[in-house]
Structure 1
């Protein structure tokens, strides 16, 4: 086949292939690899030859225009027509169930960070392992980003599937942890390593002054100048971030290795018209400078490929992949462009090195460019030529120090920071070389030397950038943190953090202006890291950050997380925040888990549970109590307070505190007249409580005294008072319950005497006699039961009035005035009430003498019960006593119940 015929056939194949691709794109349901409507072929069925072409109707002729080449790789992703992940879009058929599962997977991946970070920090608990923690943080964030991206890429066609802000936030956090690792590894280098380096430096110092290369000067500068060394670390960090950001999305070359500008060459050499003739006048020569020198264009396809190559080269340089950029140039047949990127390298002849001379047997190759200064000035002038493509100039500007060109090519805060640092380091190294080296160099423009600026000046320039996007990004919390970490200005960083914490709502569902849950998690662990390495400036701000994070975790109801991070606060704050967390927990198993987590975290469980009960008793929380069984006359708020006592039931050692808190709650209920709630609270105390308290506070040898004297005289004052108060409430509640039972039986259990109606006939009289006999039997039975109940009730009521040392009367040595006032108030309520109840029982059972004797008891100086009566209540009682005296007089006795002789 002749060359012209081959070229015509090639053009026809190209035209037909592009039509096939356009057809595949225009009909979404058609697969790119679909052969026919009736029968499809799998990719495996296609015969792929060794050179990468297909021996099928879709195969293209090799070595033609890039638009006509398909290889094994670009079947999926590498064609010019199809971008990254587009084949996945065409083939993706995710169901709604799968979408929900993917959403849950993505959510679980990012929520898992809260637990993973705690596990990492606990695993590496010593200062020697602090950087292991940072590396694990980076890896954890990277895995999360990968998981989210995988789910996201499978659901790109689902509108509103995922918020890109979350992904960006976690990526930014990962990058910040990388920065922390790089900077603080350098800042906290061991002194031993520094001493070893100094010894080696002393040995070589004399020779270094005599013979030194550009590379050696640079290495010495990096070794001795902390600022330039850290600046280079930041540059490396920015390049790594850019590399990660571009993974899976970078530009790629889509042909086998070829020559430069092949379509232009083909048109220039072709004798006949070709289908794809350029729309502009072509260059006549193919040297690298031809387009610029002749002011003419390349072929349209070559121009497109050239732009793509220039873009790729710049992006690879931005990612720190100079070798990849040069490989791309060589792959595209533009080795001259790859060679152009070699001219910046520092000159170094290793044959003059003292170390090499000692063992050298053969000459070593020379490194770098001996005419580097000329290359740099030439590259600078090329950057000044605005007729060249911007990204081509920017690729050179990164190595010749032309700042403005780099800034013009920058689109983000990271890009501009990289640009400033890149040229600043270059200028500082160049200055050091020219000051030390004996070689003469060509002069660089003054604008080049203006690049020597401080890190503070660089960040100020970013904050005042002409690019509004860069200005906005410079004020973002993530970049502010990175800025102060680079500047090593921890106090200023903490000042900014304080503003964010004070100005943000920490609830889980709020729209954060500055602080999101994941950023708050990051700030918390940053504070912990700084504390561990001894950089805990502004501890109050650090505590505020941890407190804010604890509030967030409380909203999430994660007991293990809450307990551990609360343990990082002061003792007072530990009690306050964990008690606040426990107030919202009502499930018994969940409560047990919370207490276990508190113990593992080293919290003071006894004080915390006490605080929980006190807080709930003193407040009226708006808890959801719909599941609680509400008793008559007991409000939902009352049930919450009663349920809070369960916090003191988990540990036997807290029985004394349980007694104290229950007593206080009962006192509140009795003061409010809510005896039913008081009884429910009283029933919370296990029956074995008093015995347990006595056995743990009293010597076993004390067995001769009565039980009550044992309690009063042989225990600590607080325990003794609490125990006696409990016994007082027990006596009163038993008496009140007994009276209620007596009253119910007295008024509703008494048999009703049958009545014989007038004019009853014989049958009715017989029936009446039978009913009356049955009534007498029932009445006698009721009278016996009533007498028994009366005796029991009287005994229980008298137990209150005659309680040893007085009902709710504390020892005189107790100095709690509030308690004294409260108990006195309760006595003024309960003692008169019990007195009236006792009078009702005896008067109802016609024990009028007992009623009069009760008056003597109230007036007795031994008990001084009359002192708790108000004037009105005392008058009411005397009126009832008068009624009993009148009944005695009606029985022929004197007013005091004695028989009149």
Structure 2
């Protein structure tokens, strides 16, 4: 029993399966078209996956074993029986058997093909979904902060669809590939979530309706965190990591029907130790009483079975605390018969003292806390509870207690040393460091507030909080006062955020899995976002996806297409979110960002997603956009494969609509305000009329349906020209001799295209072409008369200015 605890692996549920409490699980049984929901108690299913090499080495010899189902594996008992099966299969081979095998092999190949199609569709669907969402944000239909959340939800939904949506049977390699793709999308969702917490969430303000006078320690802590940049950054990182863990629990509940925290009543009571004591066994290593303080007071242990049950319970409590679910963790302890433990997890009757606006609103006007602190002093009860939690975690660890029990109490006071042993992934270790650092900053600030109330001249916490060395901290140990953390506790905390992230790379401090996680692409992206080093982030993204040196058109073989998509959308989101704050890295965000966007558009072009290219090409610099389309036209014209006009028609139509729409969005504020209004209108009309030039070109003669394309371009030009003619006619009614230059530029641009015979023009899309063509002719006649009128007006004004002879 004891040896099993020494090698207890928190990532492997199989070791604690026999100690797991019964779970409530829902099953749906289908019969005669009806569904019956059955709720039964069963043990929690293990989350550990079976190794493809170890669990499926014998599955390749028969057609039924080529595919496997996670819930219906049939392992062979030993090698002898496996060889006997092979021998029997070989002896039974005949011509009929070969036909059957051939048919079965054909069926399996078709099945495998369908699985590959499913995988392809699951991955490529993100390209279309992201393009649609981005287009809505660019057009102003949603703010970019909401766009980030939509990106996160899209990644989670597609990941869930890939991983759990298809209930069919898969080969080992296909199942592994699906898991990897689903996990990559979850990692991307985590990066979008962090981006929202750092840049999209916005600043929070202290609710005025919750202000208490005199203030409480919780209000002081919240105000400090809202005003201090470093503390606010720590808070958002903690909230981000807790949100990820909470999302993982929600997904587990959705897929399995339950998650950690479902225990039978009184399952946390030490029944084995109770029966042992009733037999009057005298063992000094076993506790003699059953109160919760007995193991610490008597320096003894529970029986191994009770100890493992407690550790299993506390592991689930740790998981809930890691997800920011304090209330659920307390309720879990109560449901297991350990109400005393629930009381030790919180202070002041269950108040949540996390320094956030959400916790402040949840607590409301905490008169109880105010009454306590009016009597004993601000923050003193909080300090006492923190010290109790700290010594509890240290005492449990010193007596070889459970590591999860020590970690649970360490999380309540920021004792990083006792939390890291149970942090076996990057997110958990980062959460432990950030939360511990945040708690320490708040504790030091509240300690300073206490000292200022007693004697302002002895306040010395500023020097500690502003990054002093460890030798200086030791010299400040006495002035810090008896209620401050000792130096060896403060030395656990980093001096700044880069130092915190550097600790994640140290194998001497964290688990080796955490060190390996720092090399993951999305973990590197997230660490750069935390430090705000956007320039380094852009260089990192470009280094992953830049073309090979010997061939500029070939992507690096190791880069995932989803990473290219992520990089392109990240660049566009950062450009909009940091539009007024990117002076330090504006040039790199534009230049390197254009490289990434151009790479993504070429990738879409190579995957026949021409309908999406216009959304991203319109965000490039003008000269890069021209080079991009020239390159794509050359590639398409030199392509030996059959080409269909319909592939590019949607992209071309989108680009034309966007250019024409943006050409009409020119505002007066963009012009020189020293001009008169009439001069401004003339300048704007010229800029708007130049957009027609996009439509006045002759397509290459090598493409199919040349005449149809020319007719469509002419029809679109006529439609937009008529819209501009109406606008110009209204704004050019000034009694001035100057001609409306915008209208006459349009007439000159379309003069060559309208020299075709009328019957030829009306043969394409007759009704629309006829209606717009006749309106265009009417406007041409109107502006001809308008030109004659303005010529006469010019002469009249010149004659009026001439002096009469005396």
Q: Contact 1:343–1:376 at 8 Å: present in 2 too? A: no
> Is it true that 1:483 corresponds to 2:497 in the alignment?
no
Matched residue, 2:594: 543
- 1:886 is aligned to none
**Are residue 564 (structure 1) and residue 615 (structure 2) matched?**
yes
Give the Cα separation in 1 of the matches to 2:352 and 2:176.
51
Q: For residue 266 of structure 1, what is the aligned residue in structure 2? A: 275
What are the Cα deviations for residues 145-182 of structure 1, in whole angstroms up to 9, with x where unaligned? 22122146764785542423221211011111111112
1:177 matches 2:192: yes
Would the aligned equivalents of 1:564 and 1:598 in 2 still touch at CA under 8 Å? no
Match among 377, 382, 401 for residue 372 of structure 1: 382
In the alignment, the residues of structure 1 paired with residue 366 and residue 224 of structure 2 have an alpha-carbon distance, to the nearest angstrom, of 30
Deviation at 1:377, TM superposition (A): 2.3
Which of 446, 463, 488 is the equivalent residue of 2:487?
Answer: 446
**Paired residues of 1:106 and 1:151 also in contact (CA < 8 A):** no
* Aligned pair partner of 2:432 in 409, 414, 419: 419
* 1:79 alignment partner in structure 2: 43
Alpha-carbon spacing, 1:475–1:258, altered in 2? closer, same or farther (3 Å) = closer
Residue matched to 1:523: 567
Q: Which residue of 2 aligns with 1:311?
A: 315
In the other structure, the counterpart of 1:141 is 155
Query: Where does residue 580 of structure 1 map in the other structure?
Result: 631
2:279 pairs with 1:238: no
1:274-353 map, 5 Å: 282-294=286-298, 296-343=300-347
What's the TM-score once normalised by structure 1's chain length?
0.53
What is the distance in 2 between the residues matched to 1:360 and 1:455? Answer: 33
Q: 1:119 matched to which residue of 2?
A: 132
Q: Deviations over 1:475-512 (max 9, x none)?
A: 33212221222222222322322322336699999774
Larger radius of gyration: 1
1:508, 1:253 → 2: CA distance?
55
Cα distance in 1, alignment partners of residues 170 and 139 from structure 2: 44
Cα distance between partner residues in 2 of 1:588 and 1:157: 35
Alpha-carbon spacing, 1:653–1:236, altered in 2? closer, same or farther (3 Å): closer
1:456 aligns with 2:498: yes
| TM-score scaled by length of structure 2 | 0.58
User: 1:256 and 1:363 mapped to 2: Cα distance?
Assistant: 31
Q: Secondary structure at the match of 1:599?
A: helix
- Please state whether the residue corresponding to 1:479 is helix, strand or coil: helix
Residue in 1 that maps onto 2:225: 222
The SS at the match of 2:324 is coil
Residues 648 and 177 (structure 1), Cα distance of their counterparts in 2 relative to 1, 3 Å cut: farther
Contact 1:427/1:448 (<8 A) preserved: no
Change (3 A) 1:289 1:645: same
Instruction: Give the match's secondary structure for 1:388.
Output: coil
Q: Distance in 1 between matches of 2:530 and 2:502?
A: 13
CA distance in 2, matches of 1:545, 1:144: 24
Q: Name stretches of at least 5 consecutive residues in structure 2 with no aligned partner.
A: 1-16, 19-26, 51-68, 75-106, 354-360, 374-378, 455-480, 660-690, 715-749, 759-806
Say if 1:398 and 1:423, in contact at 8 Å, map to a contact too. Answer: yes
Q: For 2:261 and 2:168, how far apart are their aligned partners in 1?
A: 22
Q: 1:457 to 1:509 in 2, by over 3 A?
A: same
In 1, are the aligned partners of 2:548 and 2:554 still within 8 Å (CA)? no
Contact 2:611 2:648 in 1 (8 A): yes
The offset of 1:309, in angstroms, is 0.7
Quote the residue 2:710 is aligned against.
Answer: 651
Alpha-carbon offset, residue 111 of structure 1: 1.4
Q: Deviations over 1:741-760 (max 9, x none)?
A: xxxxxxxxxxxxxxxxxxxx
1:607-626 counterparts in 2 under 5 A?
none
Given that residues 130 and 532 in structure 1 are in contact (C-alpha distance below 8 angstroms), is that contact kept between their aligned partners in structure 2?
yes
Q: Is the 8 A contact 1:145 1:170 kept in 2?
A: yes
2:652 is the counterpart of 1:598: yes
Instruction: Measure the CA separation in 2 of the matches of 1:332 and 1:300.
Output: 18
Cα distance change of structure 1 residues 298 and 423 upon mapping to structure 2, 3 Å threshold: same
Counterpart for residue 432 of structure 1: 445
SS in 2 for 1:124: helix
Q: Matched residue of 1:650: which SS?
A: helix
Distance in 1 between residues matched to 2:414 and 2:487, nearest whole Å: 12
- Cα distance in 1 for partners of 2:385, 2:244 equals 29
Mapping for residues 49-64 of structure 1, pairs under 5 Å: none
Q: Which has the higher contact order (CA 8 A, sep 6+)?
A: 2
What secondary structure, in the 3-state scheme, does the structure 2 residue paired with 1:73 have? Answer: strand
Is the contact made by 2:447 and 2:483 (CA closer than 8 Å) also made in structure 1? no
After superposition, residues 347-362 of structure 1 pair within 5 angstroms as none
CA distance in 2, matches of 1:108, 1:412: 31
In the superposition, relative to structure 1, how do residues 132 and 362 fare at CA in structure 2: closer, same or farther (>3 Å)? closer
- Secondary structure of the residue aligned to 1:396 is helix
Q: CA deviation at 1:326?
A: 1.6
CA distance in 2, matches of 1:179, 1:503: 29
Q: Distance in 1 between matches of 2:30 and 2:538?
A: 63
Pairwise CA RMSD: 4.9
What is the rounded CA distance, in whole Å, between the counterparts of 2:698 and 2:283 in structure 1? 84
How many angstroms does 1:237 deviate by?
0.8
Provide closer, same or farther for how the CA distance between residues 441 and 342 of structure 1 changes in structure 2, counting only shifts above 3 A: farther
Query: Which whole-Å deviations, capped at 9, do the CAs of 1:80-105 have from their partners, x for residues lacking one?
Result: 6866999x944699x96777656544
Query: In 2 relative to 1, CA 587–567 (structure 1 residues): closer, same or farther, beyond 3 Å?
Result: farther
C-alpha deviation, 1:453, in angstroms: 2.5
CA distance, structure 1, for counterparts of residue 403 and residue 436 of structure 2? 17
CA apart distance, 1:395: 1.1
Distance change >3 Å, CA 259–CA 314, structure 1 → 2: closer
Is 1:255 aligned with 2:264? yes
1:508–1:552: 8 Å Cα contact kept in structure 2?
Answer: no
CA distance in 1, matches of 2:267, 2:314: 16
Kept after mapping to 2: 8 A contact 1:258/1:332: yes
